[in-house]
């Protein structure tokens, strides 16, 4: 069973930066999602067709997804943070049985103060 552990969340002022990490127990494709209070979980950043990256419109130009395949770890560099980025951030892994990104980490809280 794939295990995911996120880290790097915290409290930061608007305009600040944070770097999230997601360490997987095995080599697996992963994505970043977030869920704000009272809102549905949304896809924030992902890799498609190898190293092509995709971002939600709300984070384009501010967030950068990357990975270190040797460490089975994915990162999310978040710059110019805004209060509306406040959410629990999750990494999700591709389930080889369902071909869905339905294996979740425990999440890490990001809070951006104005």
The tens digit of pLDDT for each residue in 37-92 reads 999 999 999 998 778 999 999 999 999 999 999 999 999 999 999 999 999 999 99
9 contacts: CB under 8 Å, gap ≥ 6: 18, 20, 89, 108, 109, 110
pLDDT given at position 48: 84
pLDDT given at position 64: 98
> Looking up tokens 């790097």, which residue turns up?
8
Split at pLDDT 50, 70, 90, the class of 31 is very high
For residue 77 the two structure tokens come to 């560099």
């Amino acid at each position: 069973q794939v295990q995911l552990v996120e880290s790097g969340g915290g409290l930061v002022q608007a305009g600040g930066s944070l770097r999230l990490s997601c360490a997987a127990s095995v080599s697996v494709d992963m994505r970043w999602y977030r869920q704000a209070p009272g809102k549905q979980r949304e896809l924030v950043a992902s890799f498609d067709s190898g190293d092509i990256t995709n971002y939600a419109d709300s984070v384009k130009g501010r967030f950068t997804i990357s990975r270190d395949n040797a460490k089975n770890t994915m990162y999310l560099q978040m710059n110019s943070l805004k209060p509306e980025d406040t959410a629990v951030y999750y990494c999700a892994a591709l389930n080889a049985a369902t071909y869905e990104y339905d294996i979740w980490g425990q999440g890490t809280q990001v809070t951006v103060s104005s």
